[in-house]
């Protein structure tokens, strides 16, 4: 494991056992695994000479670096990784306009971004690594992405196979494994995760155990509008999304963080969701935000619930 010496307090034995279990599962070659491993394997010989993670579009390689045959392989592999949820990327000149305009979220995070230089960072629910590449621009020592879904895991592996960032890695872990990383991280990003957990305060408490004293947690969550410290709990789906539990107001999210033991809790941004930010594209051809919202009254979801806002918070683990 390339990072074991950087995490002296982590339970490396348990992490190693988990990695072996995942490796055995991947090696079984099941259809679901092969669907995404195959495009990864088809391009894993390719390396990019130039990358640029400083702008809105994560740029990996340029078209003149590849033979015609490899250009075709890259394009096909990128199409095989569809649907692309997070982006935008430009991969050897192939523009990938993902469902989410993730650069907008990153722009909102930037003014409150802690110094990442030389830091050990976790990105929980990292998806294809869009934000990890944006973090790489700030020169962290290590970013571990937690991502249990094979599609996103192999997409990241293909992208970083091209980019070759040795300080970025993604594991098939979930937030439920964060407790194995005792006092390990200077900064943790928890974006788009909390409302998918049935016990959000327990998750925050466990995350705090994985942070070094003085560490910083950056949270972004779906929420509902309102000033009171309330959380909405849908009967089944919320904006058509299954697996949604507590959807907090900003005040409620701040209370969760304080009750989980965080200090200096600050809600620093909140905005209504929109179909400008999450929409169907050539790289994500299924339903998107406009299909989740009541066409007659955009302040409601299709279920008649309050339409979502997004909330940004920063919190510190006390020294």
Residue 192 as a binder of ligand SAM (CB under 6 A): the answer is: yes
* Span near ligand SAM by CB under 6 A; candidates 70-78, 121-129, 251-259, 307-315: 121-129
Residue 96 as a binder of ligand SAM (CB under 6 A): the answer is: no
Residue selected from 86, 134, 208, 310 as contacting ligand SAM according to rule CB under 6 A: 86
Residue 145 as a binder of ligand SAM (CB under 6 A): the answer is: no
Beta carbons of 246 and 195 less than 8 angstroms apart: yes
| Spatial distance between the Cα atoms of 39 and 185, rounded to a whole number of angstroms | 32
| Spatial distance between the Cα atoms of 226 and 278, rounded to a whole number of angstroms | 22
Q: Could you tell me the two tokens for 3?
A: 């990072």
Residue 101 as a binder of ligand SAM (CB under 6 A): the answer is: no
DSSP 180: G
Residue selected from 133, 146, 269, 283 as contacting ligand SAM according to rule CB under 6 A: 146
Q: Could you tell me the two tokens for 164?
A: 């070759």
Q: Which is nearer to ligand SAM, 193 or 247 (CB)?
A: 193
Beta carbons of 289 and 99 less than 8 angstroms apart: no
* Span near ligand SAM by CB under 6 A; candidates 26-34, 36-44, 169-177, 276-284: 169-177
Residue 214, burial from CB neighbour count under 10 angstroms (0-12, 13-18, 19+): exposed
Q: Which is nearer to ligand SAM, 110 or 263 (CB)?
A: 110
Residue 226 as a binder of ligand SAM (CB under 6 A): the answer is: no
* Span near ligand SAM by CB under 6 A; candidates 124-132, 228-236, 269-277, 296-304: 124-132
Count, residues near ligand SAM per rule CB under 6 A: 17
Residue 160 as a binder of ligand SAM (CB under 6 A): the answer is: no
Question: 14-34 burial string, b = 16+ CB within 10 Å, else e?
Answer: ebeebeeeeeeebeeeeeebe
Residue 186 as a binder of ligand SAM (CB under 6 A): the answer is: no
Residue 236, burial from CB neighbour count under 10 angstroms (0-12, 13-18, 19+): exposed
Q: Which is nearer to ligand SAM, 92 or 184 (CB)?
A: 184
Beta strands 100-101; 94-96: pairing state: unpaired
How many CB atoms within 10 Å of residue 173? 22
Residue 261 as a binder of ligand SAM (CB under 6 A): the answer is: no
Judged by the rule CB under 6 A, the positions of this chain that interact with ligand SAM are 86, 102, 124-125, 127, 146-149, 152, 174-176, 191-193, 220
């Amino acid at each position: 494991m390339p990072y074991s010496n950087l995490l002296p307090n982590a339970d490396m034995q348990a992490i190693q056992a988990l990695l072996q279990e995942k490796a055995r599962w991947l090696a079984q070659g099941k259809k679901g695994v092969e669907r995404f491993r195959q495009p990864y394997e088809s391009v894993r010989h390719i390396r990019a000479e130039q990358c640029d993670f400083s702008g809105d579009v994560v740029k990996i390689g340029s078209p003149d670096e590849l033979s015609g045959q490899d250009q075709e392989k890259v394009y096909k592999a990128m199409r095989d990784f569809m649907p692309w949820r997070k982006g935008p990327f430009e991969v050897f000149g192939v523009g990938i306009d993902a469902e989410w305009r993730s650069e907008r979220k990153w722009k909102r995070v930037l003014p409150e971004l802690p110094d990442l230089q030389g830091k050990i960072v976790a990105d929980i629910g990292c998806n294809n690594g869009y934000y990890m590449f944006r973090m790489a621009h700030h020169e962290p020592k290590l970013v571990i992405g937690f991502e249990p879904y094979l599609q996103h895991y192999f997409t990241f592996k293909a992208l970083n196979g091209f980019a070759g960032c040795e300080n970025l890695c993604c594991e098939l872990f979930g937030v439920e494994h964060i407790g194995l990383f005792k006092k390990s991280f200077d900064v943790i990003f928890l974006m788009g995760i909390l409302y998918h957990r049935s016990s959000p305060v327990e998750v925050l408490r466990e995350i705090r155990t994985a942070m070094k004293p003085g560490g910083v947690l950056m949270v972004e969550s779906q929420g509902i509008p309102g000033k009171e410290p309330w959380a909405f709990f849908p009967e089944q789906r919320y904006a058509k999304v299954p697996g949604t539990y507590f959807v907090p107001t900003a005040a409620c999210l701040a209370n969760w963080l304080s009750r989980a033991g965080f200090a200096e809790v600050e809600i620093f941004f909140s905005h209504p969701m929109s179909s400008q930010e999450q929409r169907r594209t050539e790289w994500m051809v299924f339903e998107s935000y406009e299909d989740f919202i009541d066409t007659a009254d955009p302040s409601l979801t299709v279920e008649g619930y309050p339409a979502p806002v997004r909330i940004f918070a920063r919190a510190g683990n006390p020294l």
